[in-house]
Structure 1
């Protein structure tokens, strides 16, 4: 994960895809090969798809390398074809857009070495646009991956160089972990000497040696462990975390039924990122991570904490263990050790579960698909712009910005964490992790311990009211849970206000206990009840309730209504002194329409929409000539529709920001006709169009469906589906759960710091990537488009263009 010590180079960003398809300035197009290596991770297929399409868009020839470094060392057998056949039935595209070279179906089915299939002995395969279609939602890596001992030797790298040169490839994009990316950099560093040796031994010609004097490379971090330095997120981590959370959510119900304890071991090698994030997400009771090991007396320390939890009424115990867990003397801690300890010291029925490779499996979640797409685009940009003087780059993400990181420095810093752990320099190891990880561990300790030693003096303790405002959003309950437990740990009194400001006026207020909120982290909606009523319905009643119940701070959780509520309270506070209590807003809305921040609830809704889109795409493809129109919520903010379209592989997306015109519909229908005419006969792909429900007053879902149905004639038919309130989701995503915990703690700290102060301006806790900030109300107002209930600046709109690029709209 990220670290402040790593040098980052700002990427050219997504602006590069807005240019015309980049014809190479060389006499011959650049040939870009894409490969996956090391352990598989969800999102690798999406990264390959993105890189292949971006390479073609830029005017390059695109190849895939099967079976990682092993495949590159093996290369193509003498006499085997390069994979440039165009089967009968494919219409010819233009000079850039060639739908297929024939191997797409074989690659997608994961075909191995069967002679009759046609891929035996062929590891470097040219691909066209449609050869990677449908890859977005597939788990693992369809082109295979393998760790290769031969590549670690110079003789193996010599073979790899020979195979690249034989195919004319001069650019290589590799998706993998630190080991795979180290191999990529070493290949590039040795490239000149490898080419010289191949030439001196007459294995390549002088012309080939001159043409391939340098190798362009870039890397994409594909690792579920979340341990790579310099990037806030690595490909596969969100999906692995989701698999873990799904499993532990299921375990928790049976554990509670029998009052059992469960010990769950998760992956991560020397990183505790998966373990700590999972612990916060599921409301676990204890966690072991290698960066912050317990003392050798960990058994007594752990059982003391868990015993206190049982005393206050907990029916189950969940302990999460990173696979690299150790004590402070570097002694390994295993799941079975913990289980035996629980049975002996706590006298409870305990079970242990090692999740293993189930964490790598399944289709990627939306976040991995989007991250893979963005990184694949930038990886190709990096190799297209590379010179012999530029360093090898790995593509990462920091604070929601795609960046290029010097590969060798990032790998070096990644390895330093393990070195510090082995040297028992745990503080140094922890310092190299990103702030979110460190903050997460601290927050987990705070909300999992029943008795706290950090209580404030009685005079500084406050009564803090917590209420949800507006529509329900995933993560609201997780935020309430953390806020309540933070308050209890610090000596404050957390007050649950049921049914928003109406409930506050009516006195529907009660203290929250530690055990009462124990299971709330996993629940969707709002356990407190919520509505869209604002405080100005009865502002004097709100003020009277604040006075009557001695409320000294207000924590509002919600979307634009919560923002407006804070604004109203502040405006009225000059006239009504009782309203002058510190007020803070946690953004929680599926539309993510609060300025200057992301919102909890968006990730849950995004994955809900993408799952529905996957189902509809399967149905559309089964029907061959079907176009599905899928409508999702979001109000006047089209962010949910655009991100869902990008993650699901939609071909068109309509949003309120850009609107819908007859001219646009005519152009889209014309493009869709061209696109269908390029499909293989009998293998026409069904397609998806995403529609924000407020995209147009004139063209609703039924109108769009009817227009395109008429335009499709014999090429396609249309169907439509409106998700409505299903967008809110039933399973809160781990990202929303973790964000909710971080935001809630930050919000409570703001109230705590401002209790008793006069005229404190309300604030919002903003989150951008891994960074949390406190932003005052005036800045939020300045950044708001109140007429449309959205930010003035819409930085995400470029993803709409990227969605259409990935559909081929800029080439056909």
Structure 2
């Protein structure tokens, strides 16, 4: 090989295959722009594997601007196809010829398990395909020798979320948004008519969408493939629906996965469920099959930033792989990208329906992630509780909110109340935070008192940001004694944690504080110790992304620069993740600071970029990124240096980030956190010396930590953790947002 050939850039192709999923475009953009930022030449394969087979114009050179406006689109802009021809060796021979003729020997595929199986087979056959093509004279021996291996990376695009070994797949979160939105809407009309609705959702072999939407939507019953109901389930289901009506519910919702079946393997259709309810309960049940709307619509904030991160990682994987590198599929587990052996991951995923068919449901559930198994247990407890009779000496658990408002607080309170009652506790609600507690605003909460709170924004119990001072501790201790509070659950943000920490520190002076206390993280800022995610942050991100989408659309007919400010105080989570999901070219954080040299570079780059034909630029600034270089200052700076090439608009999103209904992810996190908080309180109630704890989600697992040591892990001045996992995504922002110089 000549020096010139050795110096030639790597060539990488990307394709989408199988069923479409929201977020595929974000992944394609992540792959393409990351590869370009590393000096590679990128090709898009249109219409999936069929495009590889057909060649010609189906394999096109991809430029930076080709990925410029696809981030927020649903579906896949490069098309998909279930190619029968590629399944044959002759089809793969054509595909290999079309790739190698263009000098391409690196391939990223975004699709389901069938697509990834085809990718792994293609990689394994590649050396033999090269030999066959060379022997037939279809390519030169030199060409075959220059491309001895196919380097690959796979990403799972599937709304079913069925890949074993990861927490979520591309498209699942967006599909959950579609389903929960539909359940919320159907619930409203069902309540108007006191009617039962049966809702069918996708999921042939995986009950993720059905189970999670049932919990997030406050449904009464769910049927999923992994847990077929026991014999006689029809009577039990109808009895549960009648019990709900007797308790005051005006509507009933049953969610059915399309692959639901009984323990003999017979399908349980949604129509059968509807007819059963009508027959046994004597009511006019209605059926709604959501169908392909679950795949449609724009991707959620999560499916934008996570898919971009996955695309970035897949591009690096394919570009750095060597000829001997085995094929991998990349996924997200907790707050990390994981590399799984492709063949093994697909085999384990396909093992689940085999176990279901064999009746080994425990093993099938064992292959699902911890979140799935936890939620299956929690849903049963919420909807079919084995209620423990409350006794006079039952533990009295009080719930209060504190700090700033976060969507999902009502969901957490509702789950805590119902799970607490099911476990035999007396549940108390404190009105208006610690201010209400010191005034004795404490009421007993019953099962029906929290009806309908699942998807409601705000905080029905009320809250205050106030942190009680030492002079107020006596009144608070008296209130705890007067209402015989045995344990305290504090749901909130930084001020909530600070108040609980101060109480715990004064336990020697005030015996009433010597009770189990657990803090549940709920703040849009995502700035609490020990947790990758906090309740409310995902809802805020979706609000930010929706606003950015609308802001961008306002510039459709002009050349414009936008500077958008998010909330977050000194924590840049919302700015960085919102900017990544919204397609920002620049993001300004307090963690990094803003300097004059940086601004000079950005202004020069901005002016040069618009001079080369750019039409839109987006900068996102965290609200306290700099005391001097404010959002208004940045807007005036950029406009002053525009030389007439563009105009500038600034936008401060404001408190809408705290408003609105909680997203499905926040409803699920709130429910799971509430259950874990009750577990901690139950454990501490039985301890000789109960302690105060705080919860956190790490690597997909909920952990609890001693509140006394909280300050060791935070920057108390900046009010954020010392370690913030999402700061590792800054290179992703740079790779997809900063076009290499022409």
* Superposed pair shares fold, TM > 0.5: yes
- Asked if 1:500 is matched to 2:447, the reply is no
Q: Do the aligned partners of 2:504 and 2:708 also contact (CA within 8 Å) in 1?
A: no
- Asked if 1:715 is matched to 2:648, the reply is no
2:606 corresponds to which residue?
A: 672
2:695 corresponds to which residue?
A: 765
Q: Return the alpha-carbon distance in structure 2 between the equivalents of residues 577 and 739 of structure 1.
A: 33
Alignment of 1:1-400 (within 5 A): 26-76=6-56, 122-400=57-335
Q: Return the alpha-carbon distance in structure 2 between the equivalents of residues 494 and 322 of structure 1.
A: 34
1:591 to 522, 525, 532: 525
Q: Return the alpha-carbon distance in structure 1 between the equivalents of residues 5 and 399 of structure 2.
A: 61
Measured against aligned partners, the alpha-carbon deviations of 1:637-669 in whole angstroms (never above 9, x if no partner) come to 111011000000011111122222222221111
Q: Return the alpha-carbon distance in structure 2 between the equivalents of residues 717 and 242 of structure 1.
A: 35
Measured against aligned partners, the alpha-carbon deviations of 1:451-501 in whole angstroms (never above 9, x if no partner) come to 525x38958731000000011101100000110011110110110111011
1:810 CA displacement: 6.0
Q: Return the alpha-carbon distance in structure 2 between the equivalents of residues 779 and 172 of structure 1.
A: 48
SS at match of 2:7: coil
1:741 corresponds to which residue?
A: 671
SS at match of 1:765: strand
Q: Do the aligned partners of 1:296 and 1:329 also contact (CA within 8 Å) in 2?
A: no
- Asked if 1:407 is matched to 2:342, the reply is yes
Q: Return the alpha-carbon distance in structure 1 between the equivalents of residues 546 and 137 of structure 2.
A: 54
1:797 corresponds to which residue?
A: 727
1:807 corresponds to which residue?
A: 737
1:558 CA displacement: 0.4
Q: CA RMSD in A?
A: 1.6
Distance 1:24 1:543, change over 3 A: farther
SS at match of 1:590: coil
Q: Return the alpha-carbon distance in structure 2 between the equivalents of residues 62 and 562 of structure 1.
A: 49
2:397 to 464, 468, 473: 464
1:90 corresponds to which residue?
A: none
Measured against aligned partners, the alpha-carbon deviations of 1:425-464 in whole angstroms (never above 9, x if no partner) come to 1111111111110100110111113x525x3895873100
Alignment of 1:397-796 (within 5 A): 397-449=332-384, 451-453=385-387, 455=388, 458=391, 461-536=394-469, 538-597=472-531, 598-620=533-555, 622-679=556-613, 684-755=614-685, 757-796=687-726
SS at match of 2:259: coil
Distance 1:460 1:747, change over 3 A: farther
1:562 CA displacement: 0.9
SS at match of 1:26: helix
**Gaps (5+ residues) in structure 1?**
1-22, 77-121
1:311 CA displacement: 1.3
Measured against aligned partners, the alpha-carbon deviations of 1:174-201 in whole angstroms (never above 9, x if no partner) come to 0001000000000111111111111222
Report which stretch shifted further, 167-176 or 194-203: 194-203
1:811 CA displacement: 4.6
1:768 CA displacement: 2.5
Measured against aligned partners, the alpha-carbon deviations of 1:307-360 in whole angstroms (never above 9, x if no partner) come to 211111111000000110001111101111111111111122210010000000
1:808 CA displacement: 1.6
Q: Do the aligned partners of 2:396 and 2:425 also contact (CA within 8 Å) in 1?
A: yes
1:400 CA displacement: 1.1
Q: Do the aligned partners of 1:588 and 1:599 also contact (CA within 8 Å) in 2?
A: yes
Q: Return the alpha-carbon distance in structure 2 between the equivalents of residues 361 and 45 of structure 1.
A: 13
Q: Do the aligned partners of 2:528 and 2:534 also contact (CA within 8 Å) in 1?
A: yes
Q: Do the aligned partners of 2:217 and 2:454 also contact (CA within 8 Å) in 1?
A: yes
Q: Do the aligned partners of 1:581 and 1:758 also contact (CA within 8 Å) in 2?
A: no
1:388 CA displacement: 2.4
Measured against aligned partners, the alpha-carbon deviations of 1:7-58 in whole angstroms (never above 9, x if no partner) come to xxxxxxxxxxxxxxxx999332211000000000001111111111111111
Distance 1:588 1:811, change over 3 A: farther
Taking structure 2 as the reference length, what is the TM-score of the superposition? 0.97
Distance 1:215 1:319, change over 3 A: same
Report which stretch shifted further, 732-741 or 765-774: 765-774
1:754 CA displacement: 1.3
SS at match of 1:174: strand
SS at match of 1:782: helix
1:89 corresponds to which residue?
A: none
SS at match of 1:161: helix
Measured against aligned partners, the alpha-carbon deviations of 1:495-536 in whole angstroms (never above 9, x if no partner) come to 011101111122211111112212101011111001111232
1:72 CA displacement: 0.8
Q: Return the alpha-carbon distance in structure 2 between the equivalents of residues 199 and 809 of structure 1.
A: 38
1:716 CA displacement: 1.2
Measured against aligned partners, the alpha-carbon deviations of 1:254-313 in whole angstroms (never above 9, x if no partner) come to 001101000000001100001111011011000000000002322112112222111111
Q: Do the aligned partners of 1:461 and 1:490 also contact (CA within 8 Å) in 2?
A: no
SS at match of 1:269: coil
Q: Return the alpha-carbon distance in structure 1 between the equivalents of residues 5 and 345 of structure 2.
A: 31
The runs of at least 4 aligned residues of structure 1 exceeding 6 Å deviation read: none
Report which stretch shifted further, 203-212 or 552-561: 203-212
Q: Do the aligned partners of 1:283 and 1:521 also contact (CA within 8 Å) in 2?
A: yes
**Gaps (5+ residues) in structure 2?**
none
SS at match of 1:62: strand
SS at match of 2:428: strand
Report which stretch shifted further, 294-303 or 336-345: 294-303
Q: Return the alpha-carbon distance in structure 2 between the equivalents of residues 745 and 37 of structure 1.
A: 39
Measured against aligned partners, the alpha-carbon deviations of 1:210-267 in whole angstroms (never above 9, x if no partner) come to 1122111110111000111111110000000001001111000000110100000000
Distance 1:330 1:544, change over 3 A: same
1:804 CA displacement: 2.8
Q: Return the alpha-carbon distance in structure 1 between the equivalents of residues 683 and 283 of structure 2.
A: 41
1:107 corresponds to which residue?
A: none
SS at match of 1:240: helix
1:797 CA displacement: 2.2
Taking structure 1 as the reference length, what is the TM-score of the superposition? 0.89
